[in-house]
Structure 1
Amino acid sequence: MRGNRQMELPEDFYIPIPLDTNNITALSPFLVPQDHLGNAAIFYAMSVYMFFIFTIGTTINGLTIACTVQYKKLRSHLNYILVNLAVSNLIVACIGSFTCFISFSQRYFILGPLACKIEGFAATLGGMVSLWSLAVIAFERWLVVCKPLGNFAFKPQHALACCAATWFFAMAASAPPLFGWSRYIPEGFQCSCGPDWYTSNNKYNNESYVYFLFGFCFAFPFSVICFCYSQLLFVLKSAAKAQAESASTQKAEREVTRMVVVMVIGFLFCWAPYTIFALWVVNNRGQAFDLRLATIPSCMSKSSTVYNPMIYILLNKQFRVCLKKMLGMSAGDDEDSSATSSVTEVSKVGPA
């Protein structure tokens, strides 16, 4: 298939040419199953996968929010940001993943053009909030542990302001396609929707929008994450070296190092394929590519609704203890005390 062939197409979707038909509307992803893109088994397998992401993502992020509401001791500045992350993940899971589950089960976007725009906007909005929340978490850890501002205290009101900023930035990134800068249309197997990055259309200025998303919503947050965590690791390693006989400091250094590595890998796993594929297509107009491959990075980005809370929340001992209590599982005081001391140790290794 070729994604660069120009012809008059309906405003709500794009189908690559050549195909053995003179009536492109007859293949509308809003009207008929897209069996020309793959056999039914692929669609049904994707439907099962998206149902799994919807179920697990909704459950784990819903429990995160409920747990924070129930336990006052979780209402710290860091956990406010984690809840903000959970809310954004919940939006993507409930709207993006569930819509994809329905569409893949029918083998076309049965809900229609308006639902496509809603799903594309909601998934992009939630995804952008998630990306910026990850950057804010890294920034908060840098301020608290590395203390670049001396004795400045990162308080709940600062966390709330940062959360508000993530929604502002995300809205600035996801709203333009609703108003003519790019557009939200079916992508890949035509059962999910996202920004139009694979067509060249001067009317929508798709290329400039892709570059905007790459710079503002991927490169910049990723740079913040890399800078903050690299500084964090440097401080922790210095502290561990200075306190070589302190077992607790050595343990804190190893745990944070492991979490940082997992966080960066998780970020790249979820978002790098989508970004790289979009940039490759935009910068290689005229080159052959299979549009169906767009389904893979799209689903990987939606999978972040499961990976993010597993990395950022379930690896948080204090959160895990409270979650066990809420679910009626045993959680002894020793574990709670250990979690608190571990958090304290990590927070105090930075310079005074």
Structure 2
Amino acid sequence: MKHSRMTELPEDFYIPIPLDTNNITSLSPFLVPQDHLSNAGIFYAMSFFMLFIFVVGTFINTLTIICTIQYKKLRSHLNYILVNLAISNLLVSLVGSSTTCVTFGCRYFIFGPLVCKIEGFLVTLGGMVSLWSLAVIAFERWLVICKPLGNFIFKPDHAAACCVFTWIIALVASAPPLFGWSRYIPEGLQCSCGPDWYTSNNKYNNETYVMFLFCFCFAIPLATIVFCYVQLLITMKMVAKAQAESASTQKAEREVTRMVVVMVVGFLVCWLPYASFALWVVNNRGETFDLRLASIPSVFSKSSAVYNPVIYIVLNKQFRSCMKKMLGMSGGDDEESTTSSVTEVSKVGPA
């Protein structure tokens, strides 16, 4: 496939077309298959992958919410935030993955411009809630284990306030394109919708919106996550050194280290491709790029609906035990002796 350039259409969207194509009105992503962008096999592979994300993501996140409702012991302050994460992941899975499964299968955005805006907004909203929930989880771990505020106790009311905060801040980040600051248009292979980071149209001030998202919804949460987890590692190293003879403390320190690495890597896998590619496009206007590559960041961000709950929920012993019990699976963890790994770590923190 040849490189692409962006051409403006009267319908108020931009469409990538091969350099030697002139009849742009015949290539609308809302009207005809986008076979000029890639072969059918790529579209169908994307559709199958989105089907996998939809089925698995919907199942895991729905099970998380139902387990929390059914089992009272899961209703701790940290688990409130995990359920908030599950709700946001479920929104991305139900709206984003299901829609793009169909549109990739049809090879164009069959649902039209209005649904494109709705899908782009809701997926961005869910993604931002998910992203900020990860930052809140890191912040909560820092408060509980490192105790920077002394004897301050992180209560359920604080957790609920943090959950509300994630939705407010996500709404602030995702609503502007609905009111003229940037816009939601087809992206990548034109089968999913997101903020317009392709164009430099002064009418929509896309560059400033992309920079706003990068700073406000990527750099700040990432800095929060890295700072809190680095402090957590330092604290655990100090405790492990002071209790060098304690096998349980040494084991907890190793578990925390692995947990931190997995959490930070998971965050970067989810959001770094999207943020980096959008930032590259904004700062390299006029450069050509392959639209198949432009679809990868969007797919990675949607796949977070699966690996976020795996990292934060399924690997949580308490949640895993309840899930196994609900599904009638034998060989689950002992309910009385099982607690979440992060709660176990909290017990070896400084007094």
Q: Matches of 1:88 and 1:341 in 2, distance apart?
A: 21
**Structure 1 10/149 Cα, relative in aligned 2: closer, same or farther at 3 Å?**
same
Q: Matches of 1:341 and 1:179 in 2, distance apart?
A: 43
Deviation at 1:200, TM superposition (A): 1.0
- 1:176 alignment counterpart: 176
| Partner amino acid, structure 1, of 2:346 | S
Alignment TM-score, normalising by the size of structure 2: 0.96
- 1:335 alignment counterpart: 334
| Partner amino acid, structure 1, of 2:171 | M
Moved more, 52-61 or 17-26: 17-26
Q: Is 1:234 the counterpart of 2:224 in the alignment?
A: no
- 1:52 alignment counterpart: 52
Residues 93-122 of structure 1, C-alpha deviations (whole Å, 9 max, x = no match): 000010000001111000110110011001
Check whether the contact 2:18–2:36 (CA below 8 A) recurs between aligned residues: no
**Structure 1 165/265 Cα, relative in aligned 2: closer, same or farther at 3 Å?**
same
- 1:145-156 correspondence runs (5 A): 145-156=145-156
- 1:278 alignment counterpart: 278
- 1:288-327 correspondence runs (5 A): 288-327=288-327
- 1:158 alignment counterpart: 158
Q: Matches of 1:342 and 1:303 in 2, distance apart?
A: 24
- 1:14 alignment counterpart: 14
- 2:269 alignment counterpart: 269
- 1:185 alignment counterpart: 185
- 2:212 alignment counterpart: 212
Deviation at 1:250, TM superposition (A): 1.1
Check whether the contact 2:17–2:37 (CA below 8 A) recurs between aligned residues: no
**Structure 1 8/322 Cα, relative in aligned 2: closer, same or farther at 3 Å?**
closer
**Structure 1 106/17 Cα, relative in aligned 2: closer, same or farther at 3 Å?**
closer
Task: Tell me the SS of whatever aligns to 2:315.
Answer: coil
Could you tell me which runs of 5 or more consecutive residues in structure 2 were left unpaired when the two chains were aligned.
none
Check whether the contact 1:177–1:184 (CA below 8 A) recurs between aligned residues: yes
**Structure 1 240/273 Cα, relative in aligned 2: closer, same or farther at 3 Å?**
same
Residues 151-179 of structure 1, C-alpha deviations (whole Å, 9 max, x = no match): 11101110000000000000000000011
Deviation at 1:12, TM superposition (A): 3.9
Q: Matches of 1:11 and 1:234 in 2, distance apart?
A: 55
Check whether the contact 1:3–1:199 (CA below 8 A) recurs between aligned residues: no
Moved over 6 A (4+): none
Task: Tell me the SS of whatever aligns to 2:15.
Answer: coil
Task: Tell me the SS of whatever aligns to 1:37.
Answer: coil
Deviation at 1:14, TM superposition (A): 1.2
Deviation at 1:3, TM superposition (A): 6.1
Q: Matches of 2:14 and 2:182 in 1, distance apart?
A: 13
| Partner amino acid, structure 2, of 1:198 | Y
Check whether the contact 1:271–1:301 (CA below 8 A) recurs between aligned residues: yes
Task: Tell me the SS of whatever aligns to 2:186.
Answer: strand
Check whether the contact 2:37–2:291 (CA below 8 A) recurs between aligned residues: no
Q: Is 1:126 the counterpart of 2:126 in the alignment?
A: yes
Check whether the contact 1:4–1:199 (CA below 8 A) recurs between aligned residues: no
Task: Tell me the SS of whatever aligns to 1:15.
Answer: strand
**Structure 1 341/263 Cα, relative in aligned 2: closer, same or farther at 3 Å?**
closer
- 2:347 alignment counterpart: 348
Deviation at 1:339, TM superposition (A): 2.4
Check whether the contact 2:200–2:206 (CA below 8 A) recurs between aligned residues: yes
Check whether the contact 1:47–1:101 (CA below 8 A) recurs between aligned residues: yes
Q: Matches of 1:142 and 1:102 in 2, distance apart?
A: 42
- 2:222 alignment counterpart: 222
Aligned residues: 350
Check whether the contact 2:43–2:107 (CA below 8 A) recurs between aligned residues: yes
Moved more, 282-291 or 232-241: 282-291
- 2:28 alignment counterpart: 28
Task: Tell me the SS of whatever aligns to 1:313.
Answer: helix
Check whether the contact 2:54–2:93 (CA below 8 A) recurs between aligned residues: yes
Q: Matches of 1:28 and 1:341 in 2, distance apart?
A: 50
Deviation at 1:325, TM superposition (A): 1.0
Task: Tell me the SS of whatever aligns to 1:16.
Answer: strand
Deviation at 1:301, TM superposition (A): 0.5
Alignment TM-score, normalising by the size of structure 1: 0.96
CA RMSD of aligned residues (A): 1.6
Q: Matches of 1:151 and 1:3 in 2, distance apart?
A: 58
Q: Matches of 1:45 and 1:285 in 2, distance apart?
A: 30
Check whether the contact 1:48–1:101 (CA below 8 A) recurs between aligned residues: yes
Q: Matches of 2:62 and 2:340 in 1, distance apart?
A: 27
- 1:84-99 correspondence runs (5 A): 84-99=84-99
Deviation at 1:286, TM superposition (A): 2.2
Q: Is 1:201 the counterpart of 2:201 in the alignment?
A: yes
| Partner amino acid, structure 1, of 2:59 | T
